[in-house]
C-alpha cells in the first residue's frame, strides 16, 4: 500500500512592515493617526449615536489605530498558519480575506509613508497632516487597490457581525480561547472578544455598513476619481 505524501507547507511570507525601515515605520504611525482622526470626524454621527457607539469605537479606533498592532498581527498570523494547516481553504475563506485586508492595508500605509518621505527629502517636514496624506494618496493613483480594500472590509465585517449573532456562540468561543492561551496568543483572543461584544451589541448593522460603503466610496472618488 502506497504511503501518502505529506503535504508540503507553504513557506510563510514575510509581513510587509517587517521590511520597512525605522524611518518609514515612524511615518506609518502618523499615517494611521491621520486616518483615525479623519474617520472619527467622518463618522461622528455614529459615535454620538448610543446604538452604534461601541461598534464605532472598535471599528475605527481599536481595529486600526489603537493598541500594539504589531503584536496583534503576529498573533493573528500564528493562528492563521495553524488553521491553514488543519482545515481546507474553503472553510476559512473569511479569515483569509481578513488576513488579505490586513496585509493590503499595511502595504498601502507603507506606500503612503514612502511617498511622504520622497516628497520631503530635506526632512524639514516630519509631521504629517491630512492634506499631506491626501496628496500622497492621490499621487499613488491606486484606485483598484483602494476599492479592493473597501470590498474586503465590507465582506469581512458583514460576516463577523452575522457570526456575533449566532445563538450561544459565546460558549463555542471558550475552547478557542483556551487553545489561543496554549499557543501563547491569548492577546489576540482578548481583542477578538472585544469585537464580538461590540458587534453583538448592534442588532442591525446595515445602516452603519451602508454609511461606510457610501462614504468611503465617495472619498476614493474624491481623491482618485
Q: What is the DSSP string of 145-162?
A: HHHHHHHHHHHHHHHHHH
Q: Which DSSP state fits 61?
A: I
pTM for the model: 0.79
List of residues 6+ apart from 64 with CB closer than 8 A? 32, 35, 36, 39, 105
With CA atoms as reference, report the closest residue to 203 among 166, 165, 171.
165
Cβ atoms within 10 Å of 26's Cβ, excluding its own? 13
- Burial class from Cβ neighbours inside 10 Å (0-12, 13-18, 19+) for residue 173 reads middle
Instruction: Give me the tens of pLDDT residue by residue for the chain, a chain 225 residues long.
Output: 444 444 444 445 677 777 889 999 999 999 999 999 999 999 999 999 999 999 998 888 777 665 566 767 776 666 666 666 665 666 667 778 888 888 899 999 999 999 999 998 877 777 899 999 999 999 999 999 999 999 999 998 888 788 777 765 555 555 555 665 665 656 666 777 777 788 888 888 899 999 999 999 999 999 998
Cell 500605509: give the residue. 109
Give domain limits for the chain: 20-121+128-224
Calpha distance 134→34 (Å, rounded): 10
Amino acid at each position: 500500500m502506497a504511503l501518502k505524501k505529506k503535504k508540503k507547507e507553504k513557506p510563510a511570507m514575510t509581513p510587509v512592515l517587517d521590511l520597512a525601515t525605522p524611518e518609514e515605520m515612524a511615518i506609518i504611525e502618523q499615517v494611521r493617526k491621520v486616518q483615525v482622526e479623519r474617520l472619527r470626524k467622518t463618522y461622528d454621527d455614529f459615535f454620538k449615536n448610543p446604538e452604534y457607539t461601541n461598534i464605532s469605537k472598535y471599528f475605527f479606533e481599536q481595529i486600526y489605530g489603537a493598541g500594539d498592532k504589531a503584536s496583534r498581527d503576529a498573533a493573528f498570523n500564528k493562528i492563521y498558519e495553524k488553521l491553514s494547516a488543519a482545515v481546507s481553504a474553503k472553510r476559512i475563506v473569511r479569515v483569509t480575506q481578513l488576513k488579505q485586508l490586513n496585509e493590503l492595508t499595511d502595504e498601502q500605509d507603507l506606500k503612503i509613508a514612502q511617498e511622504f518621505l520622497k516628497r520631503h527629502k530635506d526632512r524639514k517636514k516630519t509631521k504629517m497632516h491630512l492634506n499631506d496624506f491626501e496628496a500622497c494618496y492621490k499621487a499613488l493613483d491606486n484606485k483598484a487597490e483602494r476599492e479592493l480594500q473597501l470590498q474586503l472590509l465590507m465582506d469581512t465585517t458583514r460576516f463577523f457581525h452575522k457570526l456575533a449573532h449566532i445563538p450561544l456562540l459565546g460558549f463555542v468561543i471558550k475552547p478557542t480561547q483556551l487553545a489561543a492561551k496554549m499557543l501563547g496568543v491569548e492577546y489576540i483572543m482578548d481583542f477578538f472578544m472585544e469585537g464580538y461584544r461590540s458587534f453583538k451589541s448592534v442588532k442591525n448593522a446595515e445602516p452603519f455598513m451602508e454609511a461606510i460603503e457610501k462614504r468611503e466610496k465617495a472619498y476614493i472618488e474624491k481623491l482618485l476619481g
